[in-house]
Amino acid sequence: MSHGARVTSVQPRHDDESAFLRRYDPRAFPPIAVTVDIVLLTVRQGQLTVLLVRRGTHPHRDRWALPGGFVGEHEDLDDAARRELAEEAGVDARPRHLEQLRAYGAPDRDPRMRVVSVAYLGLMPDLPRPRAGTDAADARFWSVSDLGTEDGPTLAFDHDRIVADGVERARSRLEYTSLATSFVEEPFTIADLRRVYETVWGIALHPANFRRKVLSTDGLVVPTGQERSTGRGWTQLYRRGGATQLHPPILRQARTNAHLTLDG
Amino acid sequence: MSHGARVTSVQPRHDDESAFLRRYDPRAFPPIAVTVDIVLLTVRQGQLTVLLVRRGTHPHRDRWALPGGFVGEHEDLDDAARRELAEEAGVDARPRHLEQLRAYGAPDRDPRMRVVSVAYLGLMPDLPRPRAGTDAADARFWSVSDLGTEDGPTLAFDHDRIVADGVERARSRLEYTSLATSFVEEPFTIADLRRVYETVWGIALHPANFRRKVLSTDGLVVPTGQERSTGRGWTQLYRRGGATQLHPPILRQARTNAHLTLDG
DNA sequence: GTAATAGTGTCTGTGAGACATTATGGC
DNA sequence: GCCATAATGTCTCACAGACACTATTAC
């Protein structure tokens, strides 16, 4: 079965068959470009941040945008996302988690041409050593809360909405999966993990209750037996456990009986 | 700002600028077709069913596939999904809910050419009156549990995976949203709603506990004050409430203390 | 009568949230 | 001394699951 389709040689079986065939003719499909855009999130200095690159070309020149680009003709979407991230954010910036977010395809989202973008969500820890590209003048992490404000950039295209969707996906992922550990490097403390939850969700959590919840969730973290000095005593260190889904979930939204408690 | 981009006239600012520009040249984007495919689910006769259409053309001729087709050049993705559903499944088959599932873009998923498909999930009640197209020989609902078995069809392309993803999304949506009501026509009984949950999740639920849970969830259902004869007594009728998100959720997965209870 | 379902009431185990307490070490 | 944090323990309230019970109607 070759790639060159010969569908036009098939005999129509009923009335609208020819129209059906015409719609599937490879030479007749609408010219739509397919790109990938990556929302790469990390937690640094108590802020949830997203990687943005400064555009050097028309349109939205000098505005900040998500790293991304065209999908290769024989390239899987996931591979395209990883490649674009490596090209635009530095080879070493491998996210610990990368998942598809959704597709964005409003007809007017790019003024040059019709572009359908498949957005990805990436999570990675804030690496202490600077990575190639990420701290260059044209690629840096921005605080998510600063986007759209005076202190932050104005995003190109519909990337503000994509970032918002990615942040919301990440917030939700912390509840039901162990992906919070993707934001910290091993080994980490329970407090490190709590600060991830607090930063991503933007709320304060009870240290005592959080600790009990994390340790009672099977497979979330594994004690290393080592300790680290916090400046005020010693604290135990942990590694990622084998679990990916959390049972029970760690809910950010308090249960019904807690609607009166505003602070954690 | 015309659609014909003149990016090649921009002067390169640094070394890889020309390569960057070339990648954004509209005449150079890879020839990838964009389609939509719709996983339209309904509950009929105690079965979770999905709408499939029989393919009349190469490839996978006579196999069953999801309704779908090419996205128009100036057409929004959501609009394309609604249009294809109307064209292939009958004009009146308006789903009560339609949301994007995700994009599928493996390079070899269509043998004819590179196709990226944006899949949608649609939910609708089992309408008592037959609709145009849906009961025709080339478009019908199939039980999801029969797919891939002797009693069911073999799906074209990667549509079996898309259906599986859609079903899983629907199962998850019942937990956190009021979308279960999208499967029933108003007015409905609590038992009607329970049968939706039982059918979609494939498990039995405690009628008494389910009733208490539904009625204690704000905005899920609203009593009409009317009653309907069930053959064995009378039962109250309800309408959809205003809530879309459920607080608290109605979890299919039992909580941690219930891991020993296998039946409901 | 039996069988099946709608609807109400009640008990128990679990866990989330809140709070108290102790230990440690920097200031 | 004070203060912040790690870590443990305990109390209470709400709810999920389980079960009992009544009422109704078909058979």
Pairwise CB contact (< 8 Å): A116 & B72:
no
Q: What is the pLDDT of residue B89?
A: 73
Chain B nearest-CA distance from A247, in A, is 7
**Best A78, A113, A175 residue to mutate vs chain B (most B CBs within 10 Å):** A113
Pairwise CB contact (< 8 Å): B10 & A58:
yes
Distance CA B118, CA B256 (A): 36
Q: What is the pLDDT of residue B15?
A: 40
**Residue B259 pLDDT level (bands cut at 50, 70, 90):** very low
Kindly identify which residue of chain B lies nearest to residue A101, measuring between CA atoms. Answer: B102
Q: What is the pLDDT of residue A247?
A: 79
Q: Which nucleotide is nearest to A229 (CA to C1')?
A: C25
Q: What is the pLDDT of residue B12?
A: 39
**Residue B11 pLDDT level (bands cut at 50, 70, 90):** very low
Q: Which nucleotide is nearest to B256 (CA to C1')?
A: C14
Contacts of A91-95 with C-beta under 8 Å, sequence gap 24+, read A91/A132, A91/A133, A92/A131, A92/A132, A93/A40, A93/A51, A93/A124, A93/A131, A93/A132, A93/A133, A93/A134, A94/A124, A95/A40, A95/A122, A95/A123, A95/A124, A95/A182
Q: What is the pLDDT of residue B138?
A: 82
Residue B262 confidence (pLDDT) above 70: no
Buried b (16+ CB within 10 A) or exposed e, A170-184: beebbbbbbbbbbbb
CA distances for A23 relative to A10, B75, B86, angstroms: 14, 15, 16
**Residue B26 pLDDT level (bands cut at 50, 70, 90):** low
Q: Which nucleotide is nearest to B235 (CA to C1')?
A: C6
**Residue A11 pLDDT level (bands cut at 50, 70, 90):** very low
Q: What is the pLDDT of residue B10?
A: 37
pLDDT (tens digit, 9 = 90+) per residue, A217-257?
989 999 998 888 887 788 999 999 998 988 778 887 643 33
Residue B161 confidence (pLDDT) above 70: yes
Strand D nucleotides in reach of protein CB atoms, 7 A cut-off: 3-10, 13-20, 23-26
Residue B151 confidence (pLDDT) above 80: yes
Q: Give the pTM.
A: 0.86
Q: Which of A201-205, B165-169, B200-204 has the highest mean pLDDT?
A: B165-169
Residue A102 confidence (pLDDT) above 70: yes
pLDDT (tens digit, 9 = 90+) per residue, A126-169?
876 555 444 445 888 999 999 989 888 999 899 999 999 999 99
A176 sits in the region (left: phi over 0; alpha: psi -120 to 50; else beta) called: alpha
The mean pLDDT of B130-138, rounded to a whole number, is: 53
Pairwise CB contact (< 8 Å): A34 & B75:
no
CB atoms within 10 A of CB B11: 7
Pairwise CB contact (< 8 Å): B70 & A13:
no
CA of A181 to C1' of C26 (A): 29
Instruction: Name residues whose C-beta falls within 8 Å of residue A67's C-beta, 6 or more positions apart in sequence.
Output: A37, A38, A40, A51, A52, A53, A84, A85, A88, A89, A139
Q: What is the pLDDT of residue A146?
A: 95
**Is the C-beta of residue B255 closer than 7 Å to nucleic acid chain C?**
yes
The mean pLDDT of A2-8, rounded to a whole number, is: 37
The mean pLDDT of B48-66, rounded to a whole number, is: 88
